[in-house]
């Protein structure tokens, strides 16, 4: 069992930056890689960024060149640095952890970007 806790969400103006954190606990040795997803008013469970096998990194098309992911590729802590935020980035952001048998999710942290 892996538990994920996100933090760092909040209200920011468009063009500003925000950094989200996610800390894993429990059976962290089973984590293969971690990543971030979001729910927005337009899209459900939209892919944002993730480590992949070999510590490569993938980004969603809507956040490329604005967002960065840092921290351990397999935890226990991973960060999402969000720069030049846009109102369309408003949503609930979820940390994820992939193991061989399961895909764990955090409770989410809310990000609101005002125009």
> What pLDDT, on a 0 to 100 scale, did the predictor assign at position 106?
97
Mean pLDDT confidence for 86-113 = 97
CA 57 to chain centre: 12
Residue 39 pLDDT level (bands cut at 50, 70, 90):
very high
Q: How far apart are the first and last CA of the chain?
A: 40
pLDDT per residue over 4-15, tens digit each? 999 999 999 999
Distances (CA, A) of 73 to 24, 36, 43, 89: 12, 12, 25, 23
């Amino acid at each position: 069992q892996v538990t994920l806790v996100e933090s760092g969400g909040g209200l920011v103006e468009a063009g500003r930056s925000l950094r989200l954190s996610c800390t894993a606990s429990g059976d962290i040795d089973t984590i293969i890689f971690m990543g971030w997803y979001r729910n927005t008013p337009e899209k459900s469970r939209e892919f944002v960024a993730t480590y992949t096998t070999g510590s490569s990194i993938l980004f969603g098309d809507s956040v490329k060149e604005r967002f960065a992911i840092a921290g351990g590729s397999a935890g226990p802590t991973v960060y999402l640095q969000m720069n030049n935020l846009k109102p369309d980035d408003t949503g609930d952001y979820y940390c994820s952890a992939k193991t061989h048998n399961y895909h764990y999710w955090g409770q989410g942290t809310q990000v609101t970007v005002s125009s």
